[in-house]
Amino acid sequence: MMQPDAPSLILKRCRSAYGEVPTFLDYSSSFELLVSVILSAQTTDDQVNRCAPVLFATYPDARSLADAESEHLESLIKSTGYFRAKAKNIKAAAQYLIEHFDGLVPDSMEQLVLIPGVGRKTAGVILHHIYGKPAIIVDTHFGRVCRRLGFSRYEDPVKLEQDLAVIFNPEDWSDCSMLLNLHGRRICQARKPRCADCFLIDLCPSAIIAP
């Protein structure tokens, strides 16, 4: 069972341990970040960062990407996996931006999730990193850590997001998302969590110390 003061203590310790956490993707514009997050599905951020420079040198904005030849686009992002579906999504996203937002990336959850290939996670990344707005960003690492800490029992991202929105104040949503994500990558890993090395062990109802 989660201790009443556990959320605030966990966030405090994570801030102390990790400091300010940047995005895990390299980008120089809101458009680049939007495309990179779409590409990051079912692959690593490092893999996206390796193919992104050539992709954005060739297609630096929504207009150029919207007009891209699909086969050429697929060849540039093939290493990220599911490249045909991703090429279709990022091309459709670029076309949508041109048609509805003059090529610019909007700044609200309601508008962002209308873009092809953009769900609440991608929208949350944009809101946090580009516009500095509160956002709970639910990905695999974040969801796993939240369930282990007892913040939520849900696998469904929307339900998990709703639980976290009650536990934490809006001004802490973005920090909570990024810090627990990083904790999941470094310590609270999926197959073999490093409980013996975890600074949250006394607050975690799922902690296991391997013999």
**202 classed as catalytic:** no
**197 classed as catalytic:** no
Phi, psi of 172 (to 5 degrees): -105, -5
Round to whole Å and give the CA distance between 136 and 158.
10
Round to whole Å and give the CA distance between 19 and 178.
11
Catalytic residue from among 139, 156, 159, 202: 139
Catalytic residue from among 86, 121, 172, 175: 121
Query: Is residue 139 within 8 Å of residue 178, measured between CB atoms?
Result: no
Give buried/exposed letters for 188-204 (b at 16+ CB in 10 A, else e).
beeeebebeebebeebb
Round to whole Å and give the CA distance between 27 and 30.
8
Query: Is residue 107 within 8 Å of residue 79, measured between CB atoms?
Result: no
Which letter does DSSP use for residue 119 in this model? -
Catalytic residues: 121, 139
